[in-house]
Structure 1
Amino acid sequence: MKEASIPVTEKVYCPYPKCSALMSKLQVLEYSKSTVVGAERSGIRKCAKCQGVFCINCKVPWHYNTNCLDYKRRNPYPPAEDARMKTLADGNLWRQCVKCNHMIELAAGCYHMTCRCGYEFCYTCGAEWKNKKATCSCLLWEDGNILYNEDDSDEEDNHDDFYD
């Protein structure tokens, strides 16, 4: 299955490190319903590639004999891989979309981010943008992050087209 063919909000990755298969939520549900009794009600899913059983809600291998809330209480710390990713993200000033959890890096441009899932937010503080407008009072950009075309003859362009 090609990654680009699945909308971000529908992507599911097998939580088993030796597999990590990409599937759509629908594909996982259909496969699980045919192989696992009670899959629809319980959140238990089965990877179509490795046959590993996992929790669709917690995104971890299936936590037998315990519900998701109890599992999270007993396992308050993220897996080591998640902790390393958070350290890497913090060190590089990456942000995580609150809607789909995709990591985003600002290479250049303004602080108005539009995630690949469509969620819009301020890169500085994380506040949601609504109706193409900021809901925070952060700067929209810093001059050091703006890229200018070399052939721009008028570097003093006042960018009136960006304002209502």
Structure 2
Amino acid sequence: MLPKCPHEGCNSELKIGSCSKFLTPRLMEIMSQRIKENAIPVSEKVYCPYPKCSALMSKKDVLESSKSTFIRAEISGARKCLKCKGHFCINCKVPWHSNMSCYEFKRRNPYPPAEDVKLKNLAATHMWRQCVKCNHMIELAAGCFHMTCRCGYEFCYTCGAEWKNKVATCSCPLWDENNIVDHDDDDDDED
């Protein structure tokens, strides 16, 4: 999100042009990129599935761009990355599987790529969770077990059950005290 003015009581958003006086060119580039990312609504975000690209795009923009390449792109799910121009399936989030339905592709490719297996193992080791809606990996660093993914989906970090209207649909505890209370100060109190 755009940073606010640091003066107390001022809620003005900083403009990128006014920040160029005190930010390095690299930080200006990062800020510009974050502004572009923030302009895309969460439900509209899609990432290129090619690891060397992974560009963030809006579903609307990528569909419009793909219409010139694919006949009936809306129906087929075929898309073309705006950055690398690679073809991919918007439904499966994988490189394009021409002449094959999504169901057939999944049936013929039941085993995930080695990189995906490594990520799943790393996630299991670190107890990360995956959003069931968009498959984004999430780590609980601190706080309660109510998660809100970047796609907007809300779920329980413990069991994965959906939260509806800010209410849990499971009976898991809402938090673990170790994730809420900072125990670093306890050592100082033992004198």
Q: 2:49 matched to 1:19? A: no
Which structure 2 residue ranges, 5 or more long, are not aligned? Answer: 1-32, 185-191
Which residue pairs with 2:156 in the alignment? 122
Which residue pairs with 1:60 in the alignment? 94
The one-character-per-residue Cα deviations of 1:94-137 (angstroms, maximum 9, x if unpaired) are 11122232222111222222223332221111112223322222
Q: Hey, what's the Cα distance between the residues in 1 that align with 2:52 and 2:140? A: 31
The one-character-per-residue Cα deviations of 1:49-89 (angstroms, maximum 9, x if unpaired) are 22221111111221122111111100011122222211111
Q: Hey, what's the Cα distance between the residues in 2 that align with 1:53 and 1:135? A: 38
8 A contact 2:43–2:152 mirrored in 1: no
Structure 1 outlier segments of 4+, above 3 Å: none
2:144 to 88, 107, 110: 110
User: Kindly tell me: are residues 87 and 75 of structure 1, through their superposed partners in 2, closer, same or farther at Cα, counting changes over 3 Å?
Assistant: same
Instruction: Provide the aligned C-alpha RMSD in A.
Output: 2.3
User: Kindly tell me: are residues 119 and 53 of structure 1, through their superposed partners in 2, closer, same or farther at Cα, counting changes over 3 Å?
Assistant: closer
Which residue pairs with 1:39 in the alignment? 73
TM-score, structure 2 normalization: 0.70
Structure with the larger RCO, 1 or 2 (CA within 8 Å, 6+ apart): 1
8 A contact 1:9–1:100 mirrored in 2: no
| Secondary structure in 2 matching 1:54 | strand
Q: 2:118 matched to 1:84? A: yes
> Percent same amino acid at aligned positions?
74
